[in-house]
Chain A
């Protein structure tokens, strides 16, 4: 049967590109995410022009077909080759490419309304999840403003891990609720998110780390989790390729898992829109109007919207957004880099994380290894460029952990920002103004927390139960000194 194939690597056909366009994915970055074109071994070199040509024929503008970000390395490159570079000789810098200039694609989501009861700033998983949950509870006069395309921020850039292994009862409770929502998300929302409960395996290279795992496992069991601390032999039965000389013990929870992040946003967005929410992309918030202790309108590059409630769900940009209202947040957005390899047949069940150096990796539904590693030298700043230093640091750490990865080839690297707070806990509730609600500061685990947190927040905003997190994680806690640190941050 003859198909017209536009992307031979990923088998994306003309029909599929047309379907994506019809569903509102008009710019190349969005079409790339929805169809998968350009994410194969050729990196979009052979298919970009064909897809762009079709989008032009369908009515896209030149700004909408501007090439998606060029992702190094430009040739699939074995981890072992990247490991030969000395990361110490490669100082950190903002990376490549520089932020794009030039005309922006047309906003999607209809004209900007003059008023909306609830305006949510940020169309990541937090903002969209909240919009959907509000609509479900009957609050449908909701407007979501997203500065880029859906999945442009950390929601579209993370490793897709979802785990219940945390170090405080509150986080464990929220994560367990999120895991339950992830398990049924595809059935509830009608879009596949490829939730796969392959477990999480934390490796402890030092005696101190082992003690930490033991403490956490006791807490986990008290809260009904199946976490166990196991020896390297048992860990190697779960992942035979591990170099068991590199760690003393591991903590294992078989119920944790991984998801494919992007469809969460499509699912939340399409369901919220079907219930009446308006979701506008490529619309930048430029300021707020205020009267006394209330914000009365949101200003954007496309006009102003009067409102009764503003939710700041801008992730790494939350600090900037709050500053527009004169509210100082203690958040420190910090880049985290990540990469993906060629797709392989299934070999790795769990997400593996090494305590101490921040290395983590898992195998995605498509078979790629997706992995990242924080850099202790990373300064504060909303930066999303990629560095060579990260490639070599990751390669060295990954090969120490799993020597058999030596020949596996990296095909893409990118970066996103963790929204870091002083105590690694989120900032929630009103801040600065009675109707300026914060939903930020999730330190690299916002994605996995969002299903549970947005459900609780929508209940609270519509007069339902007030979860204790909205009292405990207010901005005021930093002034009062009532902080309890979450220390199980990875990446």
Chain B
């Protein structure tokens, strides 16, 4: 019973994982289906062959890779289920669950220093090169070509907003209200960003607002493009050009816009303690989203680990429906478990749990801003760099604005307001 007992969450198809049928709902991600089926172990890690499973559930980490329909190393959190979809675990022999190569992990308690491993004599080193080459690599060559993809389009908009969370929606709303043609590119299959989690937080705009903004953007001749990831910003030929990879139908969109608003939010950052990579440890916000949209229950007993309002909100959001929730501020000292988390040790107590929701402010997703040379500032508490902006979201790079959590931790209400201010500033030029 790993899902909320509601008719809309009943599995309606089956995917094949290493030849075994796993119930799923058409359209949900493979990673969600695997967690719902009690199989958070998706792959084996690159070097030590340690069990790995989904963490961010949002296409930003790399711990849920599998071969899907003959294409290697796809993020299972970004692949939609359909009946008969073939999923194969990688980098494991014979399977991710029982991987004989895990001997590497057990044999190297202090790590594998590949720089100084058996460098001499020459004959032995040659063997090391050959053996390690075979152990390296993740997937095998694709079985077939993906696509076919149509020729890339070169499009022009008045403004490009990257991210459809509260900040991106705020900016898009301000620009569309003034009649600007806006393209809003959202990597996730749904708009709303953190609002999708439905956390009980003061002042957070309702998720329904995303639909309102989409309507306004459309009426002004723009578009809200979902499942559309920004691959980067280049400058080929002068003004910035964005390359966007749309998933459905799959195609490359090249976009030039005189105004760019980066509302990319942040990346879920894994916790740091021994055993932090055991399957079953998830980004808290992502679990709340998966519960809201797929009825996902990550296990029977979930430890919510983190401090502050958001941690409390995540704990409240995850509780009920058959999931027991325990909340602790941390710090955690050790996670135990192999194929999935069994227990977490904190100062003075040991908590049994089969899932962990890790709640911490995300690290600003500043990559696009960095590509154009925007100034960054260090956030010591996060040891991460945020895009430096003035009160109106100006980055100092002409035409480039940033708003929301890409500029540092904010609540949803403040992010929406910052997005609106950046949109209005962009109108003034």
Contacts and interface: CB of A to CB of B under 8 A. Distances in A.
A489 to B, nearest CB: 25
B234 A72 contact: yes
Among A6, A100, A263, A343, the one with the most B-chain Cβ atoms within 10 Å of its Cβ is A343
Nearest to B235: A93
A41 B65 contact: yes
Contact of A95 (B71, B120, B147, B234): B234
A408 interface: yes
Contacts of B129: 192, 194-196, 365
B365 A45 contact: yes
A56 B106 CA distance: 30
A4 B274 contact: yes
B46 A40 contact: yes
B295 interface: no
Interface stretch (A207-215, A386-394, A436-444): A386-394
B46 A9 contact: yes
Contacts of B202: none
Contacts of A80: 145-147, 149
A406 B238 CA distance: 29
Interface string B146-171: 11011110100000000000000000
Interface stretch (B133-141, B192-200, B215-223, B411-419): B133-141
Given A1-B105, A42-B60, A81-B245, A70 B370 contact: yes
A84 interface: yes
A95 B270 CA distance: 32
Contacts of A191: 115-116, 119
A96 B233 contact: yes
B213 interface: no
Contacts of B48: 3, 11
B269 A84 contact: no
A342 B120 contact: no
B236 A4 contact: no
B52 to A, nearest CB: 7
B325 interface: no
A186 B117 CA distance: 10
B137 A367 contact: yes
Interface in B217-245: 229-238, 241, 243, 245
A250 B220 CA distance: 57
Contact of A2 (B47, B71, B137, B274): B274
Interface string A180-206: 000110111111101110000000000
A371 to B, nearest CB: 15
A52 interface: yes
A404 B235 contact: no
B59 A75 contact: yes
Contacts of B236: 90-93, 95, 387-389
Contact of B334 (A2, A5, A192): A2
A89 B232 contact: no
A43 B149 CA distance: 25
B428 interface: no
Interface in B48-107: 48, 50, 52, 55-56, 59-63, 65, 71-73, 75, 105-106
B201 interface: no
Given A3-B277, A8-B55, A77-B245, A48 B139 contact: no
Nearest to A62: B378
B128 interface: yes
Contact of A346 (B134, B142, B273): B134
Contacts of B37: none
Contact of B145 (A49, A96, A183, A407): A407
B243 A42 contact: no
Interface stretch (B1-9, B172-180, B296-304, B379-387): B379-387
Interface of A: 1-6, 8-11, 13-16, 19, 34, 40-43, 45-46, 48-50, 52-54, 56, 62, 65-67, 69-70, 72-78, 80-82, 84-86, 89-98, 100-102, 183-184, 186-192, 194-196, 241, 263, 266, 342-347, 365-367, 385-389, 403-409
16 contacts: A4-B272, A4-B275, A16-B113, A42-B62, A66-B376, A75-B245, A78-B146, A81-B147, A96-B373, A186-B122, A187-B122, A191-B115, A365-B133, A388-B254, A407-B71, A407-B142
Report, nearest first, the 3 A-B pairs whose CB atoms are least far apart.
Answer: A367-B137, A72-B232, A407-B142
